[in-house]
Amino acid sequence: MTYLTQELAQTELLSNLPDSILEQVAGHATPRLLAAGEVLLTPDQDNAYVYLVLSGALTIHFDTLDSPAIREVAPGGSVGEMSVMDGTRPSAFVVAKVPSRVFGIHRDLIQEMVANTHSVAGNLLRLLTRWLKENTHRIVRDRLQIQELTDHVDVDALTRLYNRRWLDNAMERLLEQSIKGQQGLGVLLIDVDHFKQYNDTHGHQGGDQALVALSNVLKTTVRPYDFATRYGGEEFLVLLPNTTLPEAIATAQRMCDAAQSMAVVSPTGSRLPGITVSIGVAVSDASSTPQSLVAAADAKLYLAKHGGRNSVRF
């Protein structure tokens, strides 16, 4: 057995093959030398070879050559299987990470061995299965990362409630569903009473702790399918799907009472004065739009703030 056939026998694709087949493969080509950074495969050129890595290392890049490598192929591995088997161009760039030696097997020989040699067919199937598993894991990981980033984008950093961006995207959909189902969508617009004075007296950290305490009240007084959001500054907006006006008023009153009795604790653990809130209530009808519904709740909030605060208006 020659040195080249020994190298070929160490590759995953040609493992467990008889010496006679390895010698036949070795006679079809000679190893190719790649300089570091040299491109072996590219999506804009046809490919007719499966390349076995004999030494060095190759990296695989989607989109562009400058994109981060998604996989590194060490000696014994191979590249080009998918494009050879399905007759399409490569789906990624393959580049020599360091000076490397590769051995190219033409598609005609690959297809002949797959058809006539069970070991090659089994090896190729294992390679492709592993490649699919790796890509599936990567897709799942990427989706989780995307979901995590999306959560960060849609959630207010201080209160951990949904933010205005989420509200702007979701309210129109929720209102449309309510109108189609002939159900009301309740809106509670909540404002912390005299919040500027509270901030001036107890500092921004104290004000932040009051907002956090209020957000916890909102989380615990809504139903599982309701949505509490930080509307901006010291204002909050709560969406109540499938809700009548009496139900929305009752929810708002529970929030108003709970806010008045809740504890506000400073970052150092000391007790801070409590707060109160004013709440405006509105419920959609068939002609409502997100803008008109918020405006109706805002008008009721105005009455609550100018009618003594710490109250609910509807």
108-134 pLDDT, tens digit per residue, is 998 888 888 888 888 888 887 777 777
Active site residues: 234
Q: Which residue has the tokens 């506000």?
A: 264
Q: Is residue 140 a contact partner of residue 193, using CB atoms and an 8 Å limit?
A: no
Query: CB of 311 within 8 A of CB of 300?
Result: no
Q: With a cut of 70, list the residues of the chain below it in pLDDT.
A: 135, 137-140, 142-152
Look at residue 148 in the predicted model and tell me its pLDDT.
Answer: 57
Q: Report the side by side order of strands in the sheet with 49-55.
A: 32-34, 100-106, 49-55, 78-79
Contact between residue 96 and residue 36 where contact means Cβ atoms under 8 Å apart = yes
- Alpha-carbon distance of 268 to 308, in angstroms, equals 32
Q: What is the model's pLDDT at position 50? A: 94
Q: What is the pLDDT of residues 39-56, one digit of tens each?
A: 999 999 999 999 999 999
The span from the CA of 73 to the CA of 168, in Å, is 46
Q: Can you say whether residue 158 is alpha, beta or left, with left for phi > 0 and alpha for psi between -120 and 50 degrees?
A: alpha
| Domains of the chain by start residue, with CATH | 3-144 (2.60.120.10), 164-313 (3.30.70.270)
